[in-house]
Amino acid sequence: MKVFLSSIKNEFLKQKRGFTWIIVLLLSLGTSFLAFVDVYLRYDYLTKKQNLLNTWEILLLENHLSALWFITFPLAVTTICSLLYYVDYKDGGLKYTLTLPISKNKLYFSKWVTVVIFSIFMIILNISGLILAGKILNFPDSLDIYLFLKYGIYQFISLLGVISLQLWLSSRTNNIIVSLAQGFVGIIASLFLAQSQFIAKLIPYAHILYSIPLKGENNSIAIQGGITFGLLFLFIGMVHFKRKDILD
Amino acid sequence: MTEYVIETKDLTKEFSNFTAVNKVNLKVEKGEIYGFLGPNGAGKSTTIRMLLGLIKPTKGKSYLFGKSIESHSINLLRKVGSMVESPSYYGNLTAKENLEITRKILDADKKEIDKVLKIVDLTKWKNEKVKKFSLGMKQRLGIAQALLGDKELLILDEPTNGLDPSGIHEIRDLIISLPGMLGVTVLISSHILSEVELMATQVGIINKGELLFEGSLKELKNKNQSEICLGVSPMVEAEKYLLDKNYEVDKKNGRLFLKKGVLNPGLLNKELVFEGFEVSHISEENKSLENIFLELTGGIK
């Protein structure tokens, strides 16, 4: 257990002075800020158009769709997964780490947990930014913290499939461009394919679209898909990584 | 029975289109500096990667401290420090932070970092980012990483690769001092015999995946059979005469070469002169260790 925890700490240390923290901060708070500007500028229009929703729900919806959180969040996760392996492949760090007394499974799982921690951190930052935006805009409705809690949990679970899939893809190649391109194509393709609920169930990148906890949303796609694909690709990734010859 | 620090049994690695390592049987005893020699692409790094569990052998087994690396990798790797092919590092981190990564996994004392930095003479640069380091400094950091913790075996793959002569000298002195200073066994690979000649107590020579020789440098030298070089005319007739007398004769660059064996050059000279041949040159040629190595590995035909 101590080695596993040390390995997680090492993953964070390896990202020191890198782009990862910039991506995390910029995309989470940047999206919250965009949602704030959007609601600020179109407050009257939005409250009229979405008359069945309260102001906090409108802010959440604008954050998720108009400010493109459903794209920026999986994009950030894709980039983080690629960067975690990039720093390891770049100057032979992976080769060296695996000559230390740590099993491949522990190393792989510690990377997975690191991405999970970064993702939770991004969600917390984004939601904190939204709550701050609502307070600044002085919403008439009282803050429904339960709504934001559900939003955070649903989107985290919905993204488990992307985390596991992208980590596996990133572990397969020492070329960061390849794993990034695979993720970007998946995310863009899911925009079109997610129109069908049936197809969306099968595409991990599309699950986040169904994670808004509002009436009429089929959140089960996000939750069931996230858990199923998260576990499936985590298992595939671990088995593949364990069998992989370290030649680079 | 001798317990070897490293032992491989018919270690083989086949890739889709070639065999990188073919039935290699290495034996490294405790306290040795073992030079693992071979030209580029001979299979040294692949063998080392199999010893460290980085790649799985197609056939055969490798044992460290008498135990199979496949089934005891975690316990065994705790005792092994390594540098494979080139130094591995995180360029955005300082030398100290790089060593901290190793220290955390080994759960070693924090003082170990200062100790190994001192051994490799990097204390002054410990807070500098590694990407600013020269190749020699990176190599030294790689050795520091390998030394961190209570190591009993060091596996250093081409540690002098890319270094200038003074850098090579520096690393060589450091490696020679390690068994005495820390009591470790060292396996060092190289494609240049002269680099390990001054360090190694034993050598293994590999080429095209096959181990061609294993033993001491003295044994390697004894493999050399001196030759007698003759400048004689008429050469064709002299060659025929010597072949008829069952001598092993080789013709190179206008000279005849005979395996020395028990031959006495003086008597040979006398014999040829009595037979009417004109002997203009006679000398005894000893091959250098480098030439023996090159001949073994096919560098000299």
Same domain, B131 and B243: no
Q: Is the pLDDT of residue A199 over 90?
A: no
- Average of pLDDT values for B165-191? 84
Beta strand segments in chain B, E: 6-14, 19-24, 27-28, 33-37, 59-64, 67-68, 80-83, 153-157, 185-190, 202-207, 210-216, 227-233, 249-252, 255-259, 278-285
Same domain, B164 and B33: yes
Whole-number Å distance between alpha carbons of B128 and B272: 72
Same domain, B231 and B213: no
* Structure confidence at residue B3 (pLDDT): 77
Q: Is the pLDDT of residue A21 over 80?
A: yes
CB contact under 8 A, B84 and A96: yes
CB contact under 8 A, A102 and B56: no
Contacts across the A-B interface (CB distance below 8 Å): 89
Instruction: Determine, yes or no, domain membership for B293.
Output: no
Same domain, B103 and B189: yes
CB contact under 8 A, A87 and B90: yes
Q: Is the pLDDT of residue B1 over 60?
A: no
Which of A28-37, B93-102, B208-217 is least confident? B208-217
Pairing relation of β-strands B33-37 and B185-190? Answer: parallel
CB contact under 8 A, A17 and B93: yes
Strongest mean pLDDT among A110-124, B40-54, B64-78? A110-124
Asked if B52 and B84 touch (Cβ cutoff 8 Å), the reply is yes
CB contact under 8 A, A13 and B100: yes
Whole-number Å distance between alpha carbons of A204 and A237: 15
| Predicted complex ipTM exceeds 0.90 | no
Identify residues of B whose CB sits under 8 angstroms from chain A CBs.
49, 52-56, 73-75, 77-78, 80, 82-93, 97, 100-102, 104-107, 129, 145
Residue A25 has a CB neighbour count (10 Å cut-off) of 13
Same domain, B69 and B189: yes
Same domain, B28 and B152: yes
Q: Is the pLDDT of residue B222 over 50?
A: yes
CB contact under 8 A, B91 and A100: no
- For residue A88, the chain B residue with the least C-alpha distance is B90
pLDDT by residue (tens digit) across A80-90?
Answer: 999 999 999 88
* Structure confidence at residue A41 (pLDDT): 94
Q: Quick one: tokens of B277?
A: 């041949």
Instruction: Determine, yes or no, domain membership for B240.
Output: yes
Q: Quick one: tokens of B41?
A: 């692409």
Of B54, B73, B97, the CB nearest to A95: B54
Q: Quick one: tokens of B56?
A: 């799985």
What's the structural domain count of chain B? 2
Examine the fold and report which residue of B191, B217, B243 is the final residue of a domain before the chain moves on.
Answer: B217
Pairing relation of β-strands B33-37 and B202-207? Answer: parallel
On chain A, the residues whose CB falls within 8 A of the CB of B86 are 92
Q: Quick one: tokens of A18?
A: 């890198």
Whole-number Å distance between alpha carbons of A80 and A23: 8
Q: Is the pLDDT of residue A129 over 90?
A: yes
Does residue B126 or residue B86 have the better pLDDT?
B126
pLDDT by residue (tens digit) across A62-108?
Answer: 999 999 999 999 999 999 999 999 999 888 888 888 889 999 999 99
pTM to 2 decimal places: 0.84
Instruction: Determine, yes or no, domain membership for B290.
Output: no
Distance (Å) from the alpha carbon of A109 to chain B's nearest alpha carbon: 15
Whole-number Å distance between alpha carbons of B10 and B168: 33
Of B86, B87, B92, the CB nearest to A16: B92
Identify residues of A whose CB sits under 8 angstroms from chain B CBs.
2-3, 6-7, 9-10, 13-14, 16-18, 87, 90-93, 95-103, 243, 245-247
For chain B, give the percent of residues with pLDDT over 70: 95
Same domain, B19 and B50: yes
- Which pairs count as long-range contacts for A62-68, CB under 8 Å and 24+ apart, including other chains? A62/A35, A62/A38, A63/A31, A63/A32, A63/A34, A63/A35, A63/A126, A63/A130, A64/A211, A64/A212, A66/A34, A66/A35, A66/A38, A67/A31, A67/A32, A67/A34, A67/A35, A67/A38, A68/A31, A68/A34
Does residue B294 or residue A15 have the better pLDDT?
A15
- Average of pLDDT values for A112-134? 96
Distance (Å) from the alpha carbon of B37 to chain A's nearest alpha carbon: 20
Same domain, B99 and B190: yes
Q: Is the pLDDT of residue B190 over 80?
A: yes
Instruction: Determine, yes or no, domain membership for B297.
Output: no
Whole-number Å distance between alpha carbons of A88 and A38: 40
- Average of pLDDT values for A1-29? 91
Same domain, B200 and B166: yes
Examine the fold and report which residue of B217, B241, B258 is the final residue of a domain before the chain moves on.
Answer: B217
Same domain, B136 and B265: no
CB contact under 8 A, B74 and A6: no
What's the whole-number average pLDDT of chain B? Answer: 86
Same domain, B212 and B143: yes
On chain A, the residues whose CB falls within 8 A of the CB of B101 are 10, 13-14, 97
Instruction: Determine, yes or no, domain membership for B71.
Output: yes
What's the whole-number average pLDDT of chain A? Answer: 91
CATH code of B100's domain: 3.40.50.300
Does residue B293 or residue B21 have the better pLDDT?
B21
pLDDT band for B161, please (50, 70, 90 cuts): confident
- Average of pLDDT values for A51-69? 90
pLDDT by residue (tens digit) across A156-189?
Answer: 999 999 999 999 999 998 889 999 999 999 999 9
Instruction: Determine, yes or no, domain membership for B77.
Output: yes
Examine the fold and report which residue of B165, B184, B217 is the final residue of a domain before the chain moves on.
Answer: B217
Same domain, B174 and B234: no
pLDDT band for A47, please (50, 70, 90 cuts): confident
Residues near A194 by beta carbon (within 8 Å), at least 6 away in sequence: A200, A203, A206, A209
* Structure confidence at residue A91 (pLDDT): 83
Instruction: Determine, yes or no, domain membership for B1.
Output: no
CB contact under 8 A, B54 and A246: yes
Q: Is the pLDDT of residue B301 over 50?
A: no
Instruction: Determine, yes or no, domain membership for B295.
Output: no
Distance (Å) from the alpha carbon of A22 to chain B's nearest alpha carbon: 15
On chain B, the residues whose CB falls within 8 A of the CB of A18 are 92
Amino acid at the residue A16 = K
For B174, the domain range is 6-217
